[in-house]
Amino acid sequence: MTTPVTQDNTPRKTKFTFEEAVDVWLRRWAGQFQHEIAAAYVINVRAINHVLKEVSHVGSKEEAARRMGRTA
């Protein structure tokens, strides 16, 4: 007999906060790939791409650079 399918009601993240967007930049500069960052946040890779292309959370790149002590 087969195992019954159970519904996964775990809420998924759909948007980033500004702090998380800053973390995305820091992770990317540390060498993580977009799909690895997406897996860590359980979010679609498209959301990562929007942060890195500065479609969403404009200014997060500059804040991440400031925290690292580098220029953007």
Q: List, for residues 20-29, the tens digit of each pLDDT value.
A: 999 999 999 9
- On whether residue 56 sits in a domain, the answer given is yes
Mean pLDDT computed over every residue of the chain: 88
Residue 35 phi/psi, 5° resolution? -70, -30
Q: What is the mean predicted confidence (pLDDT) over 30-52?
A: 94
Give the tens place of pLDDT for each residue, 1-20: 677 766 666 666 778 999 99
Q: How many domains does the chain have?
A: 1
How far, CA to CA in Å, does 72 sit from each of 30, 38, 60? 14, 22, 10
Residue 48 — very low, low, confident or very high, per pLDDT cuts 50/70/90? very high
- On whether residue 11 sits in a domain, the answer given is no
- On whether residue 60 sits in a domain, the answer given is yes
Q: Residues with Cβ < 8 Å from 23, sequence gap 6 or more?
A: 64
Structure tokens at 18: 């500004």
- On whether residue 13 sits in a domain, the answer given is no
Contact assessment for residue 34 and residue 45, using Cβ atoms and an 8 Å cutoff: yes
By residue range, what is the domain housing residue 56?
A: 18-68
pTM of the model: 0.79
